[in-house]
Amino acid sequence: MPRLLYLYLARRIAMSALVIETGLCVPVVMASLFHQLPAAAVRGGLLIPALLGTMPTVLYVALPMAIGVAVALEFARMSSDGMIAVLYSLRLSVWSICVPASLVAMIAVVLGYWISSVVAPANVGKMHDVIHVIQNSLNHRMLEPGRFYQLDNGYRTLYFERWRSADVASGMYIHQYSPDKAEEQIINAAETEFRRNETGVVMILSNGSIQTHPDGSGNMQSANFDEYVIPINMQGAGGMPKRDWRGAFELSLGEFLQARPGPELGPRRYAEWMSEATKRFAIPILSLSHALLAIGLVLTVATATGRGSAATTAIVAIIPTIHIAIMVGAESLVREDPRLVWVIGLAIAVEFIIALLLIERQNANFPVRRALVGRLARQSS
């Protein structure tokens, strides 16, 4: 196939895949974020970390579907426009016509493995950090006035009347207990400023009072203050608070392979690891299998001159159906029984075999080859 024709078809398929990938990923990610994040999360600056934590995973999961649909649409267009017949007239075989789409698909496979093994593990933890912050009220800008918040494992209760600005609240009430000092304190302040530093947040309380009640004592000590400082474990300028756990989906490729759980950790941990492994290593290769299957189906249903092209539109729906079925299997079936990972592998192998058989069948009926066989038969007779 001429080089310019290679580049033309490859560029059309790549651009179509990019548009489809954008159309798939952006609505899914935004819908997921707005469903999981409260409105206050935007004010708290959590939208960007959540976006970075969600987008890479959605990208590599949706990429094979985008490639398959883009290839199906492009070959359906080529068939309806009669371009397939033109390519046959140039003595280009069916396998030659498949080369540009296959190259784009293989690039997508490499890109998918890079995202699933490098980019996604490095960023997916940010979304879980955001969820951790939301569930534990660890971002002061997400605090709503008129509500009680329990911090530091329940040792501190915080309440305030209203926000005066993004970082200044009025009418602060704090009830806290110190196990080290064995004393209980009640703090009231007219105004409180939340000031971030590298490790957390410092509350600077102004014009208030402290009532201290030691354990086992009937006396209550009271004192007024002009300014009082309390450090709290919230999201600081240096990043979000660290979680006390780390999932397998956050591990780099080398760490992930080394972290394969043994039987002593229980079947649940092994099932989760196997499900994550299935998504990392099986999903990216679907870009090539979906592309080849789309080519085989379109060339089988449609004719080279464009007749039957109406049926090719139905093929576009087959690729997403297969992709979703494999994704459901990797996410659900493998979690239920890790041995079912072989079913996922078998399904991908069957898709490859069917695609190659369909393409080879069309190649066997290649017009130039038929003419050559007929000419040789006449010469021999």
Encode pLDDT of 85-118 as tens digits: 777 777 778 888 899 999 999 999 999 999 999 9
For 220-266, write each residue's pLDDT tens digit: 889 999 999 998 887 776 666 677 777 788 888 888 888 887 656 67
Average pLDDT over residues 32-48: 77
Q: Which two tokens stand for residue 373?
A: 């066989």
Give the C-alpha distances (Å, rounded to integers) separating 128 from 30, 40, 245, 280, 283: 16, 17, 10, 19, 22
344 close to 277: Cβ distance less than 8 angstroms: no
Residue 12's alpha-carbon distances to 47, 73, 163, 179, 255, in angstroms, are: 34, 10, 53, 67, 38
Q: Is the dihedral of CA 14, 17, 23, 25 positive or negative?
A: negative
- Give the chain's mean pLDDT: 84
Cα separation values, 352 from 79, 151, 226, 347, Å = 22, 54, 74, 9
Place of tokens 């008129």: 146
What percent of the chain lies above the pLDDT cut of 70?
88
Structure tokens at 228: 């009082």
- Tell me what pLDDT residue 196 has: 86
Name, of 41-50, 227-236, 311-320, 361-370, the range with top average pLDDT. 227-236
Name, in order, each residue with C-beta under 8 angstroms of 174's C-beta and a sequence gap of 6 or more: 156, 157, 158, 159, 185, 186, 187, 188, 189, 205, 230
Which three-class secondary structure state does DSSP give residue 182? Answer: coil
What's the whole-model pTM score?
0.77
Q: Give CA–CA dist 229/349, Å, rounded.
A: 64
pLDDT digits (tens, 9 = 90+) for 59-83: 999 999 999 999 999 988 888 887 8
What are the C-alpha distances in Å from 73 to residues 196, 285, 298?
Answer: 52, 20, 9
184, 215 contact by CB (below 8 A): yes
Residues contacting 167, CB < 8 A, separation 6+ = 140, 141, 193, 194, 195
